[in-house]
Chain A
């Protein structure tokens, strides 16, 4: 079964600093991976996805993530944090890759990002 671990339930950075949110996955097959963002009182919005093409994936709002098979990681980064990046971030892995799928995702516990002025 697939699983996701997000290291750090809370991350705090200063405005303009590097953002690094960690995600490690466990999967018996090459995975499809996703990062979502959730702003207060809203649903989840897709930031980016890895689907076995380029290992460095660029998303919206200046975020990117790098798939590292040897480390089973898919960390999310942004070079310079903005106040508007304050939100909760979720990493997710698909239930299958390459075969028939119901589209189920397994989510990590989430990381709350705080940005200080």
Chain B
């Protein structure tokens, strides 16, 4: 089975801190994604990566950056955390294909910014 592991289930940080969320997948997937999930808004794509050191902005990249130095690891960085970034963050990965490959998700990190 595909395993997508997010480093923390729950995280509490303070306003202005630099926050790192880590995600690791064990299936040699080319594509990796970061979403945030808020009630009533569904999943919104922050950034994605289709190869090592490659990244593309999603729908809501402001206030975030990402890093992909190794194929299996995709990190989300909150440069200066703010209270409106309190949310559930989900990481996902998939094979490169023609759009028919499902994404596989981690269990999420519930981040609170105080």
A residues less than 8 Å from B108 (CB atoms): 41-43
Interface residues in A, total, Cβ within 8 A: 30
A residues less than 8 Å from B56 (CB atoms): 102
Contact A101 B40 (CB under 8 A): no
Give the docked Cα–Cα distance between A90 and B14 (Å): 32
Q: Among residues 49 to 87 in chain A, which have CB atoms less than 8 Å away from a CB atom of chain B?
A: 49, 51-52
Q: Is B102 an interface residue (CB 8 A)?
A: yes
Give the docked Cα–Cα distance between A96 and B96 (Å): 12
Q: Among residues 34 to 93 in chain B, which have CB atoms less than 8 Å away from a CB atom of chain A?
A: 40-43, 45, 48, 50, 56, 58, 90, 92
Task: Choose one: B40, B98, B101; the contact of A109 (CB below 8 Å).
Answer: B40
Q: Is A13 an interface residue (CB 8 A)?
A: no
Contact A107 B43 (CB under 8 A): yes
> Which 10 pairs from chain A and chain B are nearest by CB?
A43-B105, A94-B99, A101-B99, A103-B31, A51-B100, A103-B94, A44-B105, A96-B99, A109-B42, A107-B43
